[in-house]
Amino acid sequence: MPKPNRNGQSKPKKVPRLSPNDLCALRDFVNKRLTEPSSLQDNNPLPLSVLLEQNPDLYRNAVDLLSAGNSVQAVAHATSIPLQTVRAMTHFIPNYRDVCRSSTSKNLALASLRMSEILIESTDRIPADKIAFTLAVATEKAELLSGGVTQRTGVRPVVSREELQRLFEQLPRAKVRELPDSDSAQKS
Please give the Cα distance from 152 to 143 (Å, whole number).
11
Cβ proximity of 89 and 63 under 8 Å: yes
Other beta carbons within 10 Å of 66 = 22
| Mean pLDDT within 23-40 | 68
Residue 58 placed within a domain: yes
| Pair (107, 130) in one structural domain | yes
Write down the pTM of the prediction: 0.44
Residue 64 placed within a domain: yes
Query: Smallest Cα–Cα separation from 69: which of 45, 99, 94, 93?
Result: 99
Over residues 105-164, the pLDDT tens digits come to: 888 778 878 877 887 788 788 887 787 787 788 777 777 766 666 655 567 778 888 888
Total domains present in the chain = 2
119 CB contacts (<8 Å, ≥6 apart)?
Answer: 126, 131, 134, 135
Please give the Cα distance from 59 to 65 (Å, whole number).
10
Q: At 78, which amino acid appears? A: A
Residue 67 placed within a domain: yes
Please give the pLDDT value at position 187: 54
Please give the pLDDT value at position 73: 92
Over residues 43-90, the pLDDT tens digits come to: 556 677 777 788 888 888 898 899 888 889 999 999 988 888 888 888
Please give the residue range of the domain that contains residue 82: 49-93
Residue 163 placed within a domain: no
Residue 170 placed within a domain: no
| Beta pairing partners, 10 | 4
Q: What backbone torsions phi and psi does residue 106 show, to the nearest 5 degrees? A: -65, -45
**Better-scored residue on pLDDT, 59 or 175:** 59
Please give the Cα distance from 79 to 58 (Å, whole number).
7
Q: In 36-95, which residue ranges form alpha helices assigned H by DSSP? A: 48-54, 56-67, 72-79, 83-90
| Pair (104, 83) in one structural domain | no
Residue 42 placed within a domain: no
| Pair (70, 103) in one structural domain | no
pLDDT at 168 over 60: yes
Please give the Cα distance from 71 to 78 (Å, whole number).
11
Residue 122 placed within a domain: yes
Residue 168 placed within a domain: no
